[in-house]
Amino acid sequence: MGLAGRRARAYAAADSAYRLIIAGIRVLHQGFWLGVLDHRHVDALAGIQYARWPDYRSDDYNTSGLRDWEAEAIRRHFPDRGLLLLGAAGGGREIVALTRLGYRVEAFDCSEALVDYCRSALPRLGVTAQVHLAGPGEVPEGLGRYAGVIVGWGGYMHIAGRARRVAFLRALRRHVDAGAPLLLSFFTRSGPSRQRDWAYWIARTLRRLRRSRDEVQPGDTLDGTFDHHFARDEIEEELAAGGFGLLEFSATPYGHAVARAVDP
């Protein structure tokens, strides 16, 4: 083997070692912070991060319309008209798009910065909608009845803990009749992941040592915000516990599920 071959092999070995080290650092970083941050901490983290990201307070972004998968899910499963409840409304992208499709929308979000922006932007964009401030993972009090519910892009996966997510779904269920549609979106996971398993083990160990009452779950991650990555059977079970039956699940082009409210 000549000099060129030896240098190429040296690079390949160094690159493999580098990637292994980076993966190990990421596992330690994820596991440590998931272990020391409880639910109330990751709730606060979401507010901090979304306030930093400028797109959600941009008129260009909030007039960009529904994504193809959102539009298709609404076309297939939602009534043509009516009053919809929108959670995790952000800066109002879905509100604007749904209103332009002929729906009436009432919305809520847990970010005060985004709610303030949304309330100021909607009149400027010629849209009328009531937008409430809610606690993280909570549904506002005093809402009415709706023809369907949408939880804004990725919002459901930011709620830490199965019990809190199920309570959120049950609160939504109280505002719709049986048969009403629900659209959720989230990151998905499939198959085993050694890195994810190690991060989970580290986080679970730290929470037990701290005697935290907030359980960490497989699929919990931190990547700027807290995100829970769902498997199909997991989202189906949570929906059922929350009063909804799964109609459709898709991992592409972005993870989402459509369900219908069922009788108790």
pLDDT digits (tens, 9 = 90+) for 190-201: 878 888 999 999
Cβ-contact 222, 181 below 8 angstroms: no
Mean pLDDT for 131-153 is: 96
State yes or no: pLDDT of 249 exceeds 70.
Answer: yes
When the pLDDT of each residue in the chain is averaged and rounded to a whole number, the result is 94
Query: Alpha-carbon distance 126 to 146, whole Å?
Result: 22
Share of the chain above pLDDT 90, in %: 86
What pLDDT, on a 0 to 100 scale, did the predictor assign at position 3? 67
Domains belonging to the chain, first-starting first, are 1-36+194-216 (no CATH), 39-188+230-261 (3.40.50.150)
What pLDDT, on a 0 to 100 scale, did the predictor assign at position 4? 64
Torsion angle defined by CA atoms of residues 23, 26, 27 and 32, in that order, rounded to the nearest 10 degrees? 160
User: pLDDT for 48-104, tens place per residue?
Assistant: 888 888 888 999 999 999 999 999 999 999 999 999 999 999 999 999 999 999 999
Both tokens of 26, joined, read 């990421």
Mean pLDDT for 196-216 is: 95
Q: What is the CA radius of gyration of the chain?
A: 21
Query: Alpha-carbon distance 236 to 195, whole Å?
Result: 25
Q: Which residue has the higher pLDDT, 108 or 192?
A: 108
Query: Alpha-carbon distance 40 to 48, whole Å?
Result: 13
What pLDDT, on a 0 to 100 scale, did the predictor assign at position 46? 87
Q: 223 by DSSP, 3-state: which?
A: strand
Residue 132 contacts by C-beta under 8 Å, 6 or more apart in sequence? 106, 107, 108, 109, 115, 140, 143
Q: 41 by DSSP, 3-state: which?
A: helix
What pLDDT, on a 0 to 100 scale, did the predictor assign at position 177? 97
What pLDDT, on a 0 to 100 scale, did the predictor assign at position 11? 87
* Local confidence band at 1 (pLDDT 50, 70, 90 cut-offs): low
Beta bridge partners of 258: 183, 248
| Residue 47 exposed, middle or buried by CB count within 10 Å (0-12, 13-18, 19+) | middle
What pLDDT, on a 0 to 100 scale, did the predictor assign at position 192? 81
